Structure 1
Amino acid sequence: MIQNARARAKAAGVPFLLKASDIVVPTHCPILGLPLFQITGKKGGGPNSPSLDRIEPELGYVPGNIVVISNRANRLKSDASIEELRAIASFYATFQRGVRVTGASPKGNP
């Protein structure tokens, strides 16, 4: 995980200051609740593989700016359901500002 993150940081031109001890892999994804486990022999892992996410992408891979989530949660931007997007929004709103988001209405609908 750390070697891949270092390569992604270099390619993206962002800082990489992590040590292995900075990365804590939970048993379950904090966003979707999926159990986390590494799938061997599959490039990119599977949906339950742990994935290192940068909270503020431009800050890079530095202590305090990363969280380990499931590969599924980290890839949801391309094919998420409303329920999955709400879970992501709720997690990051709570993580960054201490405010829990329970769901948003579509633009123009109160």
Structure 2
Amino acid sequence: MKRILIVDDAVFMRISLRAMLEKNGFEVVGEASDGLEAIEKYFVLKPDIVTMDITMPKMDGVEALGAIKSKDPNAKVVMISALGQESWVKKAVMIGAKGFVVKPYKEDYVIQTLSKL
């Protein structure tokens, strides 16, 4: 069972994603509401995968991705964001994101993307 850290500033998105992931056999080990909290929880909880929103207060998801990857190059982070613009996708992938899911997402696509990791 893959252990997941969900990072999103919207509570309803975290609840929705948690329910979907748990229904599909993933274990949600924690949640974070901004990039700074995501970095802290990543190194405490050591999840197998992180789902990371981009637009968040304090520190955005792309910055948090960079901080996590600089200390753990093997980190598996999938960006999940309404910002589907090509520049954000390219930037996240160049930093090391393992995938990019655009909101609103389809459940099977999210599960398929995370299961490949």
- Per the normalisation by structure 2, the TM-score is 0.30
Q: Report the structure number with the largest CA radius of gyration.
A: 1
| Structure with greater helix percent | 2
- Per the normalisation by structure 1, the TM-score is 0.32
